[in-house]
Chains A and B, each alone.
Chain A
């Protein structure tokens, strides 16, 4: 038995313990703090201003993928070099690659694996955007339709970009709600069908989209930059049709055949194609990605800040002359010469690329816009389509619209009697100089099986250059698929995981 004193002591001890425990209990709500730096995904869905921000996000996504696409395809298509002095891999990983299975390929762990994550990041944002639109109670049916048409057009453009860089490797066309749940690869053929279907679906939604989007479009769609108004559902639909015409023309050369050429031609007629164009500004009508100094994004390619972008010397060597002996106006407008000579890294085995003294001048400032698709390209796509559908004269006429007005060159010597291949080469010359650094040359030559015509800077030895046919699937993608779902097999049955 405790004595009364002991009992008192025990009470004091227990009392103290209870007091301490009670005093240190704190409320759960004290710990539930929110992260003030970033928006919570949950609150965005219910925020009325989020629609504009998410729509702008898609336009930012489109801009981000575009410049990467242009530089990647620009190096592969021997239009440009990225001569960063501290980083020779910007040259060697594109021009030399690694040897695997006895042939030269691009290193899937290296530098030339871009134009992938950005496009799928955009698909993720489009996925979220569509969910927001579909769940929105404040939008009219027309506004919803317009918004979905807008998003789907970008969705198709993103998948199209992946197809252009991966070609035979195939493409993934969707993202799933759960990021650990991966959509399968589909073949190039299925990929193009997907792109064309989505563009058509988007077009019909835009047609039912009323007179205005429920959000403001970025300046690259407005008249002051674009030269025409693409900011309304109807105007934007012309951009959609232009993309359709291009994608269908690509598909036509990759198995789509005559039907795809017809689809391209009919899409062109619904696009903003203007074959009466004679001036630079008329050729330049089209959709652009705009840039500006911080807090906007500065143009990453501009000569004002990027001193590492050099042009391939073959652009100078191959240019045609005007009647007065001066080079093609497009060359004069886009190329700067006489830069300090630079070349890729020189290893123990000699140079890894040719030296160049040429640069670009089409993006003079950090605010210079970069085109997505322009009237000039549409006229040349029509030339391709006419040629493929047997209208050689029409093809030559379209070619000459661009050649004489944009290039200032005398009309082509090609006639309807010329061979199809000669006319095609004529069109490809015009595309090369009209669409310099717009992401087309490498892709066009591959479509027409002419990659072999591209020049190699170093033709022998350990630093021998090669022309890559496709950009590889990044290793991170492969590893994940191996981890999550057994061995990685691409759509063509090849294991492209190195």
Chain B
């Protein structure tokens, strides 16, 4: 992290007596146009020492006599070296902007960094400016399309969060699939705690489910506070994070105070939102058409259809009416930063209130942060930060449903031929939904969104402290000791309330449901690090940095719920009800590690070598005393002007190669040999054998990754290219061994599989125009990967959390990709194997060899087989980030282009089954059969293909148009700066996809089966108008 390097640099040079300090060099560091650069670092090349510029950009450096080289560098600017002859005592620098971010440092360890140009692994960096092009509901949204190698998905249109990041594909089947998130040294939780919508929707069970439109807790981090984000991808980069690192590490650094007068920034945003696309529904042409759907089976529905269809039925835009919430969103951000004497601070307050397009849904994130850096004397530094947030989301209702409450689900089955917004004069409430059977198995969605509560409420406190001690500081040797401590603590509450008068409530015999689901989370991490840097100052060995250290981490989560039904009128609390369900689960992890790391820069800073190992032991492993070692090796070499004799257009080419191992620890409890509660009979509790047998030898999954890459800079810094090819082999995958049922037990989790991922990713940045008034940068990211299961020591199995072969799911099968969608398809006949195991191709009734039937083909005796339909993994993902500035106007646009990647469009299936799809009456390949009936007929006959749809799309993800107002305008508000911006997110999507968005997934965050679209909260776009004032 940049700050870290600068702090430690400043420290180490603060007052070191240089052997031959005979003169003082002074000067000023400015940028083009003369504005001073504060916090720039000035140092003598070859020595570790340096000073920083003050708020006027001035510096004062003690230097030895003779000719010396002075280096000036600052974040966001290209470094510059100047020769200062013996007699000269001043040196001014004018630094060029580092538009392509070739400078900077990247994190290499708990307390170490390396210059980006000497980094020997690919690390993606996203700066605050890039991050905040347009506000997003959660940090992942801000990162979408900006991190090459990362796939970022939105689970649904629910406001306030619910997104997933996968870096270079899934690395585990049953293990943890989330990257490790570190904010200022604190390992923060990104838990997806199931809110409890299933207590009402019965999507799965009757309390909580992954289908609850869960918000993952990264949503609590305020993106406005972030200075930059580094995403560590390869195992060589993540090995230093040991057994929690196979999914990558996202290192987030928040803003810090800067020396000088206190500055204030105030941003006020106002915005709105609307649905990006809605699905419309069938326009019924006659009473008979309504009757044919079976929806008018209820006598009320029949009479409505008879009365309203004369002969053409009216059409009500129910979706347009329900998802029309354009209520204004507000965001206020106030921050201040400054520094005096030995103290620097940054403080911010943020309040963001957004609404969702579904009536009665929204989110409010309120947070405050204080970061303080303090130096004490020559040798000590203390940095700390505290972040307190309150995140309240009204998630609305959506996704899978077995109770009749999910609006899109209901619309799929209900002909839109009467007004659902009408009020019943008798009850004073919304009219019943008489369609879809009209009974207690359905509901009026307007009634649902106005009366059913589905909220999540999180209070969170994150604190970090870093103590630094400079144990030794000489010209050639420094030793820095650092203690880092972090605490992340939050209290989550999911709350559902469905009043007793709801149409669907009697379905289970109890009127009304109340559910409260509470989760206490506490994550603490600590590390102690010693870093010895040896800088002999010769061209063969520039520096050798040795770091040793250790970490200790604990995580504890306790989640408890009460669900109660049979509520009396107006009582919301879960008390005195009937059919009570309670649950209480504790999860705890403790992990400890030691590490050693060596980093060598040599041959005129052209060669970089790194090697290290981290050894971990933890409470989740079968053998808790055993240390598992994760080594890494990497090297890079910079060719500066490699073809200088031919052309000067190639500034630099760096070749890099790395190998590393990282781990993914076993799941909680899979090691424990336990005896379970067997339930209650006659009021007495019981104990029975646990179906799952603990595995005392379970150990971490291990990812082995080799990465080779090429980074180049061309045309004097106007073009940069970064390309990487990686090959990952993940061994000891956790899988469930299915025990023979006659053993009386069910399964045991074992390390019994291997998966490989090969991929290519590249980023190309170009600055076609760069002049005083005009600047244009284009950044293009491309990524592609392919995964395959190499080995399994268990039978092939379906990835958990799916709806089965009728609806498509990923299967874990040796020799093929785990991202393939398997589902029912029709074959003319089945091939068999003979006694010696050879394939015998059968012949169908059509006289042809067995083959998959097309959608219009019928062969007598055809059979349905669970077989591969398509690949859910996109063939390629490409994003284009364009920034164009003309004078004081800047326009930025991010376009995402996904090619391939199939989705199981079960939303379309619902509309077809209900006879309500918008294109139901269109022509189909079979004369006389309408399209919707044709598709559903294939499906119910055992052919899923009409619902496995290509997710190719182009999305205009972010747009920002901003104007830097003239100073006099700013002065009117007594400010120094005034910027006015218009921003938009997800403004536009071009796709042939039938439903809302192929990114969506009913099951939320998970490793596989990330392609099931089932009645989600609709996709939506957001608009903002922002005013930023700087004081």
Write the residues of chain A forming the contact surface with B, with a CB cutoff of 8 angstroms: 9, 12-13, 15-17, 19-21, 23-26, 28, 30-33, 35-42, 44, 50, 52-54, 56-57, 59-61, 63, 86, 116-117, 120-125, 127-128, 172, 175-176, 179-180, 182-183, 216, 218-220, 289-290, 292-297, 304-305, 347-348, 474, 476-477, 479-481, 483-484
Contacts and interface: CB of A to CB of B under 8 A. Distances in A.
Contact of B679 (A17, A25, A28, A60): A60
Given A30-B590, A124-B745, 18 more contacts: A9-B477, A13-B532, A20-B530, A20-B548, A24-B551, A31-B619, A32-B624, A44-B675, A57-B688, A86-B402, A120-B744, A121-B691, A179-B744, A180-B743, A218-B681, A220-B682, A296-B681, A480-B740
Interface string B619-630: 100001100000
A15 B472 CA distance: 11
Contacts, number: 221
Contact of A296 (B682, B688, B740, B941): B682
Contacts of A481: 740
Interface in B617-669: 617-619, 624-625, 669
A103 to B, nearest CB: 16
List 4 tightest A-B contacts by C-beta distance, closest first: A24-B550, A124-B744, A480-B740, A56-B686
B90 interface: no
A233 to B, nearest CB: 19
B837 interface: no
Contacts of B681: 56, 59-60, 63, 218-220, 289-290, 296-297
B682 A179 contact: no
Main secondary structure on A side of the interface with B: helix
Given A13-B472, A53-B685, A61-B678, A348 B742 contact: no
A324 to B, nearest CB: 36
Contacts of B582: 295
Nearest to B591: A31
Contacts of B243: none
Given A20-B549, A26-B592, A179 B693 contact: yes
Contact of B743 (A32, A35, A42, A182): A182
A479 to B, nearest CB: 6
Interface stretch (B269-277, B573-581, B1012-1020): B573-581
B65 interface: no
B940 A31 contact: no
Contacts of A31: 590-592, 617-619, 624-625
A125 B672 contact: no
Given A20-B548, A120-B741, A124-B689, A12 B590 contact: no
Interface in B461-482: 471-472, 474, 477, 479, 481
Nearest to B480: A16
Contact of B685 (A42, A56, A292): A56
A44 B686 CA distance: 12
B673 A40 contact: yes
B368 to A, nearest CB: 33
B674 interface: yes
Contacts of B686: 53-54, 56-57, 59-60
Contact of A477 (B591, B592, B691, B741): B741
Nearest to A183: B742
Contacts of B669: 35, 37-38
B578 A28 contact: no
A476 B743 contact: no
Interface string B591-617: 110100000000000000000000001
Nearest to A39: B675
B311 interface: no
B744 A122 contact: yes
B739 interface: yes
A178 B601 CA distance: 56
Nearest to A47: B687
A258 to B, nearest CB: 33
Contacts of A122: 744
Nearest to B526: A24
A37 B677 CA distance: 10
A16 B479 contact: yes
B690 interface: yes
B745 A121 contact: yes
Contacts of A54: 686-687
A40 B689 CA distance: 10
A19 B472 contact: no
Interface in B566-591: 578-582, 584-586, 588, 590-591
B682 A218 contact: yes
Contacts of B66: none
Contacts of B527: 24
